[in-house]
Structure 1
Amino acid sequence: MEQNSEPLPRLVGTTAETNLGAVSNALAVTASKQEDEGEKYYPEILPDRGRSMHYSASNYFKSAQWSPDGTTILSSSYDDMLRSFVLPPDLLSPERELLNILTPYSVQQSPGPVYATEFHPAYNLQEPSTCLVMASISSLPIRLFSPFAPGILASYLLVSPTTEVYITPYSLLFSPENANHFFAGSNSRLSVFDLNRNGEGPISTWHTTASRRHHTAAAGGMKGIVSTMAMSSDGILAAGTFSRWVGLYDGYGRGDTISAFAVAQQREGEESTGGNGLTQVMWSQCGRYLCTVERGSDGIGVLDIRGNSKWLAWLKGRNARTPQRLGVDVMGGEVWAGGMDGVVRVWEGLGMTEGVIDPKWEYQAHDDVVSSTVMHQSGAVLATCSGQRHCDPSFEPASQESSSDTESSGMSSPSSRSSQSSLAPGSSGAVVDNSLKIWAL
């Protein structure tokens, strides 16, 4: 791997709930500097009203995402809480010498596991009426809420016509064609909802395969739970499933099926991808290349969708052989991904090279698994979050997924999670880092 000639990302903000030695050292240096200047060091840490203040090794960050206006980060944690972080305006100010201690502006307690969240595309912090978030919660209607106010603004029903139980979407996506419409992906099904129809079901639904009873997808279709969706700049909807299928749909997701294929079959004969189900599909800015991310895979696939849609490249060395979802992001011609070793790796020149590609450069971002790596729309700021479930018997999450949910989705159950857990806090060799960090690039 080549050495990065550019300066490494600079840490400008972090949550207080962390035991990272590097952050502690940074705060100690700040305190020492202030004391030398005759001042007292009092970091302003606002209370998180949604949880007890004692430290828990198991309350890790599952995911984080930027708001469309780039002012807010929404995180999901193991305790089934959604936390909103509004970043200070002077975050990147060269005059600011102190490390920002990030605290949640607001906390939303979920009644169950959160499977997917999505900001409204018109989100603008200066206009409170546009600050909307969609959330899919286990065995409940889809919810629309404000990250800064309690209560539910609207709900949308996705119900099985045969059993009359709620169907839980595993992916959500607003339509760029109509901001009042959003897609919900569930088991071999894509549904479209109208945001203005509170309390109602989808305005249209289609199955991604001929029959849910089929063990293989029919011609032109795909099987399995739709776990991820992304829309290209050309209006092509890409949908991926936990059963390792990818489907491409024209007309901003409302047109014909372009193609559907199994990831494992497409890469047959090449370097083994591992892979236990798709967790992300991401388009390049030009809409020409599609990146596929799987659980339990050390790489990222790059697909050229022109012509017959062939595999172009395999970005290796991700270090992500875990059932935990590890979020990846694409910005310009770069792919950013975190690994189980706390390292963030960067591959450059997306679409410019074929074959197996090593990361161009990397840096140590956390002391535990990097669960999300998300780039600010400006390309100048990176957010990362970390953590995994450690053996901490004192911590009980707000709720647990049912065994049927974990089996169908591929999410690890409490018993299976223990197999990937690290040592308990206080044990010899234990490393715990549950933190959200902001980096200046």
Structure 2
Amino acid sequence: MALPALEGTLREPLGPPHPLWVAREAFAHRPHNYLRGCKWAPDGSCVLTCSDDNVLRLFDLPTAAEPRELVPSLVVPEGDTRHHQRRTPVPHMDSNQPDTCLVAASSRDTPVHVWDAFDGRLRGSFCAYSHLEQPVPVLSLLFSGDGSRLWGGCDGAVRVFPTERPGRNSGWERRLCGRGGGGQRGRIGCLAASESLLACGSWGRSVGLYPLGGGGDDGGGPVALWEKLPAAPTHLRFGPEGQRLFAGGRKDRHILCWDLRRPDPPLMALERLVATNQRVTFDLDLSGRFLVSGDSDGFLTVWDTWGPLEPPSPGQPPLLPPRLRFRALRDCINGTSLHPALPLVASASGQRLVAPPWDSDEDPEDEGPPPGGDNRLQLWWWGPPGDTPGDIGSGDGDCHLPGDISTEDTDCHLLGDTGTGDGDCHLLGDTSTKNMDCHLPGDTGNGDGDCHLPGDTGTENMDCHLPGDTGTGDGDCHLLGDTRTKNMDCHLPGDTRTKNMDCHLPGDTRTENMDCHLPGDTGTGDGDCHLPGDTGSGDTN
């Protein structure tokens, strides 16, 4: 590929990705169910989904041996999500440290719940109440970078929950609008944070930037406020350098980007169709160069945010043309998430479908319902051609999996391989360190050039063993049940002969060397080659 294989960086896409794994059955148990988004865990070990059936599901990162249809490893029922549901994993989540594997979720008329991502236990609840003792709905959630705080977007305010102290009325409120009507008004439906700024997107079609400082995150009013945007923002994302902010809205045709060093006007616009009020999320790779998003028509689009811009129209920001756009599904793709270390993209699809109000004068068979109903979690592989899912090799032709410490080119490692030698092809459990070993799945051989199957105990070089072969001699080609130990024997399935170089078929009783018998041959002479019906008895017949 044209770009170096930086960790967490989407390699420059030269064509559409390849669909690998899909989860559809998990969401098919309830009629009219659909996904509402997906998000990879920060360590890439699993992907989280939420859906209209009020259930959070975790799907582990699949291996090459996994079946195509994914099955959730964890299912957590949540509260009523018809109004909203927000979920976010802890930023420093590490599957090797179970205490860090947490997921926060909120839904209508329920507290904010923090769930254990390993066993689904409820690890804590955060409750906020108004001065009338009514629960305060939390419309958006975001963990701080160190996981010590959980921000919740409310009506005209952000609630700050200290994660070490769950419970009733935990935390405090940071008002975004003043008593006199100033500031940012409306319900805060999306949040994003950099090291020093908190971005708040309001359903009142505004985005505000607030400093993060002080023990209470109450660093004063907004340092920037964009009001009267074309649409209400539903998703915000800072670039990794913290100098650019991206915002996408509902019923909108663009994702807007601001350069915070010169906040007005917007730096660029990325054309994307969102035809409904549904939240459609996007994602940036860790370099901040490539942005990936779905849309209401089922297209996946990739933009190179470092690329050239088209001249702006009067009163409009410059337009960034897409690097790649292709039809992925026949339904709304409402969520995309890039794996933090692999060229692997997760997409969530589906939408609420309403029966069309057919006119009585029209024939519904001619019109048909609009495309839709393709509710799935889809994992796409966007690596170089020939690479294996999970490849982290940097050389052309490398096939490396996570954890592989080999740096030489042309190594061929399959999923679970721990070999470190050049040219080695090792499977899980293989301890051989010799170069050029060729091991098939389940092979436990340790000799150079050996090709061993389970149960093979041969240690000589250059053995050629087929599945079920138990031979131990050099160059032997033995089938199941063959007990010969001589070199260069050639036995076909069912052959029970024991002489060197014999080629025997079932029923052959000859004992001389170099016999050549074809299927059905009943000849008995040395070197005879007899077919059915042949009555010759001499040699070389």
Range of TM-score over shorter length: 0.7 to 0.9
Specify the alignment match of 1:223 in structure 2. 185
Pick from 291, 295, 301 the counterpart of residue 339 of structure 1: 295
Specify the alignment match of 2:243 in structure 1. 288
Specify the alignment match of 1:8 in structure 2. 16
Larger radius of gyration: 2
In structure 2, distance between residues paired with 1:194 and 1:55:
36
In structure 2, distance between residues paired with 1:429 and 1:320:
16
In structure 2, distance between residues paired with 1:365 and 1:158:
41
The 8 Å contact of residues 12 and 99 in structure 1, kept in 2 or not, is answered as no
Offset at residue 390 of structure 1 (A): 2.4
Pick from 138, 145, 155 the counterpart of residue 108 of structure 2: 138
Kindly provide the amino acid, as one letter, of the partner of residue 187 in structure 2.
I
Structure 2 residue matching 1:306: 3-state secondary structure? coil
Offset at residue 73 of structure 1 (A): 1.0
Specify the alignment match of 2:93 in structure 1. 123
Any residues of structure 2 matched to 1:343-362 within 5 Å, and which? 343-350=299-306, 353=309, 355-362=318-325
Q: CA RMSD in A?
A: 2.7
CA offsets, 1:371-394, max 9 Å, x none? 1011111261110010112248xx
Percent identity among equivalent residues?
26
Any residues of structure 2 matched to 1:35-434 within 5 Å, and which? 54=29, 56=31, 58-88=32-62, 90-91=63-64, 100-113=68-81, 115-161=85-131, 163-176=132-145, 178-211=146-179, 214=181, 218=182, 221-232=183-194, 234-251=195-212, 253-264=217-228, 273=230, 275=231, 277-316=232-271, 318-331=272-285, 332-350=288-306, 353=309, 355-378=318-341, 380-391=343-354, 431-434=372-375
Offset at residue 150 of structure 1 (A): 4.1
Structure 2 residue matching 1:280: 3-state secondary structure? strand
Offset at residue 136 of structure 1 (A): 1.0
Structure 2 residue matching 1:100: 3-state secondary structure? coil
Offset at residue 310 of structure 1 (A): 3.1
Structure 2 residue matching 1:129: 3-state secondary structure? helix
Say if 2:435 is the partner of 1:435.
no
In structure 1, distance between residues paired with 2:342 and 2:233:
25
Offset at residue 306 of structure 1 (A): 0.8
The 8 Å contact of residues 245 and 260 in structure 1, kept in 2 or not, is answered as no
The 8 Å contact of residues 235 and 279 in structure 2, kept in 1 or not, is answered as no
In structure 1, distance between residues paired with 2:323 and 2:199:
27
The 8 Å contact of residues 330 and 371 in structure 2, kept in 1 or not, is answered as no
Offset at residue 351 of structure 1 (A): 7.9
Offset at residue 226 of structure 1 (A): 0.9
In structure 2, distance between residues paired with 1:307 and 1:347:
22
In structure 1, distance between residues paired with 2:252 and 2:160:
31
Structure 1 residue matching 2:277: 3-state secondary structure? coil
Specify the alignment match of 1:20 in structure 2. none
The change in CA–CA distance for 1:368 and 1:258 in structure 2 (over 3 A counts) is same
Offset at residue 60 of structure 1 (A): 0.6
Offset at residue 429 of structure 1 (A): 6.1
The change in CA–CA distance for 1:151 and 1:99 in structure 2 (over 3 A counts) is closer
- TM (norm. structure 2) is 0.60
CA offsets, 1:374-428, max 9 Å, x none? 1111261110010112248xxxxxxxxxxxxxxxxxxxxxx99xxxxxx99xx66
Equivalences, count: 350
In structure 1, distance between residues paired with 2:189 and 2:144:
17
In structure 2, distance between residues paired with 1:435 and 1:382:
13
Unaligned segments of structure 2, at least 5 residues: 1-11, 310-316, 358-363, 383-541
Kindly provide the amino acid, as one letter, of the partner of residue 46 in structure 2.
T
Kindly provide the amino acid, as one letter, of the partner of residue 227 in structure 1.
G
In structure 1, distance between residues paired with 2:354 and 2:201:
32
Kindly provide the amino acid, as one letter, of the partner of residue 333 in structure 1.
R
CA offsets, 1:311-361, max 9 Å, x none? 111112x12121111111122212211111111011112486461223221
The change in CA–CA distance for 1:72 and 1:198 in structure 2 (over 3 A counts) is same
The 8 Å contact of residues 35 and 349 in structure 2, kept in 1 or not, is answered as yes
In structure 1, distance between residues paired with 2:262 and 2:122:
45
The change in CA–CA distance for 1:139 and 1:16 in structure 2 (over 3 A counts) is closer
The 8 Å contact of residues 235 and 280 in structure 2, kept in 1 or not, is answered as no
Kindly provide the amino acid, as one letter, of the partner of residue 296 in structure 1.
K
Kindly provide the amino acid, as one letter, of the partner of residue 298 in structure 2.
G
Kindly provide the amino acid, as one letter, of the partner of residue 322 in structure 1.
T
Structure 1 residue matching 2:50: 3-state secondary structure? strand
The change in CA–CA distance for 1:187 and 1:352 in structure 2 (over 3 A counts) is farther
- Select the structure that is richer in helix: 1
Unaligned segments of structure 1, at least 5 residues: 18-47, 266-272, 393-414, 417-422
- Select the structure that is richer in strand: 1
CA offsets, 1:23-64, max 9 Å, x none? xxxxxxxxxxxxxxxxxxxxxxxxx5xx8x6563x1111111
- TM (norm. structure 1) is 0.73
The 8 Å contact of residues 314 and 356 in structure 1, kept in 2 or not, is answered as yes
Structure 2 residue matching 1:310: 3-state secondary structure? coil
